[in-house]
Amino acid sequence: MKPITRETIISIILLAGVVLFAYLIKLIWQLVFIRIAKKTRTKLDLMILQNIQGPVYLTIIVIGFSSVFKRMEKILEVKDALIGKISDGIFFILLALVISWLAYTFIKTFCDWYLKEIASKTKSKFDDQFIPLFSRVMKIVIVFIVLTIILSHFKINITGFVATAGIASLAVALAAQDSLANMFASFTLLVDRPFRVGDRIELSSGEIGDVYGIGLRSTKILSFDNTLLVIPNAEIAKSKVINYSYPDPKLKIRQKVSVAYGTDLEKAKRILKGVCSCHPEVKKEPRPIVYFTEFGESSLDLLLICWIDSFQDKFRINDEIIMEIKSQFEKERIEIPFPQQDVHIKK
């Protein structure tokens, strides 16, 4: 038997062995790995194993075929010939494409799992907008890296290509710097989570409202007069924000109460504490407390502090407490002074 015929037969057997080995790995993958993954608590490992089995199978095929063809080239001494260079180039391109497909499949599977298992359970729509965008950006990045590697392998000068890509990236970044700043700020808000959808917050500018939505570009806040405030994420990320809902909705009410000079302060304190203690929605612990804070120009100033279960009831409960304080003061003949000024005319 001629050497070329013998090597051809051996190569065919080896190629069949590669296909059989890849099929065996695929079979083990399905019967062992995927079955084990189905018994775990999370679905992420199952989704990854199911989605990457195709790329893994093709990777084994490409690597095996490439090894067999290199063996034939070495034996037949055609490695430096044109056909050898063409086959090496084809297998390198196939291997680069398959590995990039494997990497992107892994990233996309993670993004799909996050959207299904985590983003769907959160009130914020930010995750639903950011994750698909991240997946598309990673696809572009992987394509760019693979293309660069392939061109470098064939000794094609990629300096101009990289420079062009850099200039294009710089132009895009300059043109969309505000949008990019808002997107990075939205990512910061997602990681740090200073507030969530439904939280009541107060901005550094004084506006108070409930978080209506957190997007890629802006955060929407619904104010008490039903006006929607749209604030860029870059602006809200670098400003001071007071969150009334975190870590819990419990809220402290501070109410300043003024009485006239000459009033029995101990009696006034007892009345204020009694009003709070009798209110069914004022917490018993911590107990309501009253402080004498200062001598005002026309009054003695007291500070009433009490706690309620939810910030959402602040205005109603505060109104009820103040109305009852007024009623008790009038009943006990405690004067609530108004600002006044004595003018002495010197003759």
pLDDT per residue over 116-155, tens digit each? 877 777 666 666 767 777 788 888 888 888 888 888 878 7
Q: Cβ distance 110 to 120 under 8 Å?
A: no
**pLDDT grade, residue 163 (50/70/90)?**
low
Whether residue 253 has pLDDT greater than 70: yes
What's the mean pLDDT in 156-166?
67
* pTM of the shown model: 0.53
**pLDDT grade, residue 289 (50/70/90)?**
very high
Any residues with CB less than 8 A from the CB of 304 and at least 6 apart, and which?
253, 254, 255, 256, 257, 272, 276, 288, 289, 290, 321
pLDDT confidence of residue 326: 93
pLDDT tens across 299-337, in order? 999 999 999 988 888 889 999 999 999 999 999 999 988
Residue type, 12: I
Q: Cβ distance 90 to 65 under 8 Å?
A: no
Whether residue 79 has pLDDT greater than 60: no
**pLDDT grade, residue 37 (50/70/90)?**
confident
Any residues with CB less than 8 A from the CB of 116 and at least 6 apart, and which?
none
